[in-house]
Amino acid sequence: MGRVGADKQQPWANRVFPGRFLVVSLENAGNRVTQEKMLDSFADWKEREAMAESMIPLVGKLYRDHNVVTSLFGRPIINRSVIDIIKAHRFVRQVEQNGLSVRETLPVLEQLATLKLGPSRIDIGKLAMKFKSQDQFAELNDFLRDELKEVLGGEQPESESGQDVVLYGFGRIGRLMARILIERAGGGAGLNLRAIVVRNGGAENDLAKRTSLLRRDSVHGSFRGTLSIDEENQCIIANGVRIQVIYSNSPDSIDYTQYGINNAIVVDNTGKWRDEEGLGLHLKCPGVSRVVLTAPGKGEMKNIVYGVNHDLISTDDRIVSAASCTTNAITPILKALLDKYGIENGHVETVHAYTNDQNLIDNYHKGDRRGRAAALNMVVTETGAAKAVAKAIPELKGKLTGNAIRVPTPNVSLAILNLNLKSSTTVDELNDYLRECSLYSDLQKQIDYVKSLEVVSSDFVGSRYAGIVDAEATIVDGDRCVLYVWYDNEFGYSCQVNRILQHMAGVMYPVFPHS
């Protein structure tokens, strides 16, 4: 017993137990540090969240009162949530060496709200980054006044009526066009959606069903806002915008002036008429001045890819085509490559989401292979996109071939550009050039850029760009390159159509900062 008691007092006991207490003490200290970091991170998040929250009314006021559309490195922040705004800031890390915080953009937005500005498109992210690169003693207010002097003190448009727009057809593109036009209604001096034209299906609840399709979308989610129906007057009221629903089975049988619609641009989404003779039927209707086709046009009709050849549209052009979604996706990137490297020739392979012209299950179809079930098969088919590029870029006539594979996904497609260039390059050089084009060139609204090993097709649902370069997939071997270009073949294309409408209506406002 004595020895046991003595053992309890042996020196090893004094070495072990204090050590154990030391370990516990260090662990506690580590936990305190971790907890402090957690609290710091959460406090930082709450601060940024509060700042983003305070940006929302400023963004809205600039838009409603001054027709100033604000964005952040090309990402729109109008009608966006707090989380959307914070994520837009996070995106900057992908495309610039340095990140961007709401702490840097909020002061820019606050200063803009104090200025009397004319209609414009202002990227507060790029302005904030540009200001950071200035002399450290520069004043933000002075910097902004100098950058925006072209629209400083500018007057608002005299007309409060804006440009009347009619959507002829209310399918996938028609409904997405409606969403874009309603979202950008602003003060009413831009593009105003006045009516949609659909075939008379004869159903008693036809108006309710069409409104429901606008409200809920399996791919693009719920409509941002409120919708109601005026059955008596056959109208849909979307976020306060009154849209007349007109039933007609032919494009030349409507008197739009009876609905108070004048000088309207009709957007034909049906694809049924694709030549000037057929589309010209719209022009026989009172109240119509011009027509835009949302499909490749036939004959000598101008096929327009906004950003590349929209300057070809003259005031005398009564009918133009917005080309196809694939043509819009690849043409801006091909134009950028042509300008810097030159293009000898190449092949375009499109991995395309299935569309409504395919059969859901095996059944007769006049097109080759398209009769087979769209959701169960990859279907090799043709595409005219490669040849259509030449209508926007004549230098590429006869230099590109193309084919398509329809795959079992409902939206977002991928164009693979296999090109022989006229000069050699490297992966890093080519990617850096395309990144620069996406940020600061005249094609910044058409070309987007992503550098991630984890992105997949669904990540690009809702993209407003014509095409998105997947930098991690780029292959270069001397003067040969392979580029992978994602595109939302529904929404991204609809945004391109909307830009054509803005151009034709004369509501394309100056963009700041200048590239």
What is the DSSP annotation of 222-280?
S-SS-EEEETTTTEEEETTEEEEEEE-SSTTS--GGGGT--SEEEEE-S-S--SHHHHG
The whole-number pLDDT of residue 229 equals: 96
Domain spans of the chain? 15-156, 163-295, 325-496
Read off the pTM.
0.87
The whole-number pLDDT of residue 157 equals: 53
Which is the CATH superfamily of the domain at 325-496? Dihydrodipicolinate Reductase; domain 2 (3.30.360.10)
Instruction: Tell me the H-state helices in 280-397.
Output: 325-340, 385-392
| pLDDT block averages, 10 residues each, the chain of length 515 | 43 40 53 64 88 94 89 89 90 76 93 92 92 82 93 66 92 96 79 93 84 96 95 95 94 95 96 92 97 94 96 95 97 98 97 93 91 94 90 95 96 98 98 95 95 96 97 98 98 97 90 85
Residue with tokens 């540009």: 130
Dihedral of CA atoms 486, 490, 492, 495 in degrees, nearest 10, equals 170
Out of 285, 325, 437, 495, the active site residue is 325
The whole-number pLDDT of residue 90 equals: 85
CA distance 30 to 22: 12
The whole-number pLDDT of residue 8 equals: 43
Q: Where are the beta strands (DSSP E) in 107-257?
A: 120-123, 163-168, 191-198, 227-230, 235-238, 241-247
Residue with tokens 């945004």: 495
Residue with tokens 């209604």: 185
CATH of 163-295, one of 2.130.10.10, 3.30.450.40, 3.90.1150.10, 3.40.50.720: 3.40.50.720
The whole-number pLDDT of residue 26 equals: 52
Residue 502, both tokens: 């803005």
Q: Could you tell me how many helices (H) and strands (E) the chain has, helices first?
A: 13, 20
Residue 163, both tokens: 């440009």
- Closest by Cα among 170, 181, 242 to 212: 170
Answer yes or no: same fold for 163-295 and 325-496.
Answer: no
The whole-number pLDDT of residue 204 equals: 80
* 285 Cβ contact partners less than 8 Å away, ≥ 6 residues apart: 251, 252, 253, 254, 255, 256
The whole-number pLDDT of residue 156 equals: 56
Q: Burial letters for 78-105: b for 16+ Cβ neighbours within 10 Å, e otherwise? A: bebebeebbebbebbeebeeeebbbebb
Tell me how long the chain is.
Answer: 515
The whole-number pLDDT of residue 137 equals: 74
CA distance 108 to 113: 9
- SS3 string, 381-447, reads ECCCHHHHHHHHCHHHCCCEEEEEEEECCCCCEEEEEEEEECCCCCHHHHHHHHHHHHHHCCCCCCE
Annotation says 235 is catalytic: no
The whole-number pLDDT of residue 27 equals: 58
Instruction: Tell me the H-state helices in 67-97.
Output: 82-95
CA distance 187 to 372: 48
The whole-number pLDDT of residue 467 equals: 98
Dihedral of CA atoms 124, 68, 58, 162 in degrees, nearest 10, equals -160
- Closest by Cα among 180, 181, 208, 212 to 194: 181
CA distances from 289 to 204, 261, 318 (A): 33, 11, 7
Parallel/antiparallel/unpaired status of strands 227-230 and 264-268: unpaired
For the purposes of burial, counting CB atoms within 10 Å of the CB of 74, is it exposed (0-12), middle (13-18) or buried (19 or more)? buried
The whole-number pLDDT of residue 187 equals: 64
Parallel/antiparallel/unpaired status of strands 511-512 and 343-353: unpaired
The whole-number pLDDT of residue 38 equals: 64
Residue 306, both tokens: 């906004």
Residue with tokens 């259509």: 388
- Closest by Cα among 213, 217, 226, 221 to 182: 226
